[in-house]
Structure 1
Amino acid sequence: MSVGNLTHTFAGKEVKLATIGKLRTKNTRREFNKLKLQNPIFIASEYKRAQETAKYVLHKKDYEKLRVTKYVNEIDFGDLVGRTFKENIEHYGESLNEWMLGPDRIAPPSGESFQNAFKRVKIFLDIIKDYEGDIVVFTHEGFIQLVLGYENKKIKTQKIKNGEIKIVNIA
């Protein structure tokens, strides 16, 4: 759980884990240590909170091998970052409705549409497709929802809990 989760604001790259988020990573680490990984690689988004989670969950020797990439970043909410939903409505008014009604094709101000985010997912999936081992990704709810909905290009609205281990098989 990040500081952005606690303040109900759209969170950018610099937002860190809140104290409660750091505490929750202990449970995540316990669950993670039960996994039987085969030839794993470790990847994190460019966001501080994803890298912090990796640091708390991985053993030092694995954390030192962590690869950071923009391809697993959260959806970029652009100028909405740092404000609550209500504050953004007050700031942008009716113009924000267009994005809310069509986020697949319309981006928030200075942000990323789902269509562009799906392009990023495709690049990532193409990069990892031939890897013969487990790929552990420290990422965000939006990115996971994009991966789960990639086949039909519709973001899955399945709730992903902070610190949750989600196993996704990609064939």
Structure 2
Amino acid sequence: MNIVFVRHGSTELNHKHVYAGVIDSEISQKGIEEIKSIKKYLQKIKFHEVYSSPLKRAVKTTELLDENYKIDSRLSEMNFGIFEGLSYSEIESKYARESKAWVKDTLNYKIPKGESLIEVFNRTKAFIEEVSSKRGDILVVTHGGVIACALSLVFNQYDYFYRFKIMHGTASVISIEDGYMYIKAINCRDNIMDVL
């Protein structure tokens, strides 16, 4: 079976380059166009089930792709807590002590009022393990952080997280066969049919 992960269309906050994990922003006009562009290829695939993060930008993206879907909170973006809505330089300036602790241990440091990256990994892993027993291909509309976690889990290497750059409005595919998981594609747009 294939799990096709689609990153939501871009938002105005994405264009501002701030940390916007659980800030519930809508997708921009550019984001809508990104999703319309990939839809013509995704609609050729028969998905057994469709899942979405509960955040507005993911739900809107999902609704543009398919009207029948399930919300799963495990697919939410990382909660950046006190860092939400700030650029990295603003985080360094406003929260010097916390930002240094975060950089020192990006996997395990729990951002105040937010979560740690390991928590995002754990919920992503739990989701994949649950859906991997299903039959047929699955569409998952989520966020860059969750997709980077999923791709890293293929290697069982959490430190690979920062080696993946997931673009808005693209599809990345993980295939699971007989308990073996591998990556079929990353950041696909018009060639998604070629890899399934």
Question: Normalising to structure 1: TM-score of the pair?
Answer: 0.88
1:16 aligns with 2:16: no
Output the amino acid matched with 2:105.
G
Gaps of 5+ in 2: 1-9, 181-196
Alpha-carbon separation, structure 1, partners of 2:113 and 2:59: 24
Q: 2:121, 2:146 within 8 Å by CA — same for their partners in 1?
A: no
Alignment RMSD (CA, Å) = 1.6
* 1:49 alignment counterpart: 57
- 1:38-117 aligned at under 5 Å gives the runs 39-58=47-66, 63=67, 65-117=68-120
Tell me, yes or no, if the aligned pair for 1:45 and 1:72 is still in contact at 8 Å: yes
| In 2: Cα distance, 1:87 partner to 1:81 partner | 11
**Which of residues 153, 157, 169 in structure 2 aligns to 1:152?**
157
2:39 aligned to which of 23, 29, 32: 29
**Aligned partner of 2:28: which letter?**
A
Q: Structure 1: how far apart are the matches of 2:172 and 2:122?
A: 22
Residue type of the alignment partner of 2:30: I
Q: Which has the larger share of strand?
A: 2
Secondary structure of residue in 2 paired with 1:169 = strand
Which letter maps to 1:20? Answer: K
Query: Distance in 2 between the 1:135 and 1:113 partners?
Result: 27
- How far 1:155 sits from its partner (Å)? 4.0
One-letter amino acid of the structure 1 residue matched with residue 115 of structure 2: E
Partner of 1:130: 133
After superposition, the Cα gap between the structure-2 partners of 1:95 and 1:13, relative to the gap in structure 1 and judged at 3 Å, is closer
Task: Letter of the 2:59 partner, please give it.
Answer: Q
What residue is the counterpart of 2:16 in the other structure?
Answer: 7
1:124 and 1:90 map into 2 onto residues whose CA distance is: 36
Specify the SS of the correspondent of 2:50: strand
**Distance change in 2, residues 1:16/1:155 (3 Å):** farther
Higher relative CO (CA 8 A, sep ≥ 6), structure 1 or 2? 2
Q: Which position in structure 1 is the counterpart of 2:169?
A: 163
Q: How many residues align?
A: 164
8 Å CA contact retained: 1:42, 1:66: yes
Residue 13 of structure 1: CA displacement? 4.0
Cα separation, 1, equivalents of 2:82 and 2:40: 37
Instruction: Give the TM-score normalised by the residue count of structure 2.
Output: 0.77
Distance 1:165 1:153 in 2: 21
2:62–2:141: 8 Å Cα contact kept in structure 1? yes
Change (3 A) 1:51 1:16: same
Q: Aligned equivalents of 2:14 and 2:84: distance in 1?
A: 12
The letter of the residue matching 1:49 is R
